[in-house]
A and B are shown apart, each in its own frame.
Chain A
Amino acid sequence: GQSLEQPSEVTAVEGAIVQINCTYQTSGFYGLSWYQQHDGGAPTFLSYNALDGLEETGRFSSFLSRSDSYGYLLLQELQMKDSASYFCAGSDSWGKLQFGAGTQVVVTP
């Protein structure tokens, strides 16, 4: 199985940069995904890293280091609409996605 750890909450002001770290312990680890979920909404896919390095998608970037069993999601130029929960999730060879407990990002004016 897998276990993933991420901070429970991060607070930042509009325009700032936020980094959400995720450490994992896994067997059969394939890659690390990131999902965003607004209150009352469904999780939506943001990014995926199968290989070491940085993946950039607009204001969001995700990083993976397999040797360190570590990844992060970087949110740049924070906007109020970025206030949400962010989940890291590890995938395995069976197609199972194991989610971390989520990080609540609070953006203040």
Chain B
Amino acid sequence: DTAVSQTPKYLVTQMGNDKSIKCEQNLGHDTMYWYKQDSKKFLKIMFSYNNKELIINETVPNRFSPKSPDKAHLNLHINSLELGDSAVYFCASSGGRISSYEQYFGPGTRLTVT
């Protein structure tokens, strides 16, 4: 059974479109995260939810909107996609804020904006 899963794995779309990425974890964790990894492999946190509550909201354009329907799911919706949004987006989870040092990552969603 996959611990942290994301769909889709690949996403190719045109500028200006709106797209969503879904994430689910079956580890029973309380905290989930979204990261963006650019072409230079720099991994940057975007958002974090703890028990459905937003606890980390980094400097991210408001075209990006996370949503956590329950503590096992965290989705990311992106409006008006731009070329610079092309990256790999990783979802991750941890047991809680205190154990944020050990995170379990999903396989990633490679987003290409043309």
Contact = CB atoms under 8 A, between A and B. Distances in A.
B49 to A, nearest CB: 10
A95 B102 contact: no
Nearest to A91: B101
Contacts of B106: 42
Contacts of A91: 100-101
B15 interface: no
Interface in B37-77: 40-45, 48, 50, 55-56
Contacts, number: 59
B56 A31 contact: no
Interface residues on A, range: 20 to 34
B98 A95 contact: yes
A96 B101 contact: no
A101 interface: yes
B102 A42 contact: no
B42 A97 contact: no
B31 to A, nearest CB: 6
Contacts of B101: 30-31, 33, 48, 50, 89, 91, 97
A95 B90 contact: no
B43 A96 contact: no
22 contacts: A37-B41, A42-B90, A42-B107, A42-B108, A43-B90, A44-B105, A45-B102, A45-B103, A85-B41, A87-B43, A91-B100, A91-B101, A95-B31, A95-B96, A95-B98, A95-B100, A96-B48, A99-B42, A99-B44, A101-B42, A102-B42, A102-B43
Interface of B: 31, 33, 40-45, 48, 50, 55-56, 90, 94, 96-98, 100-108
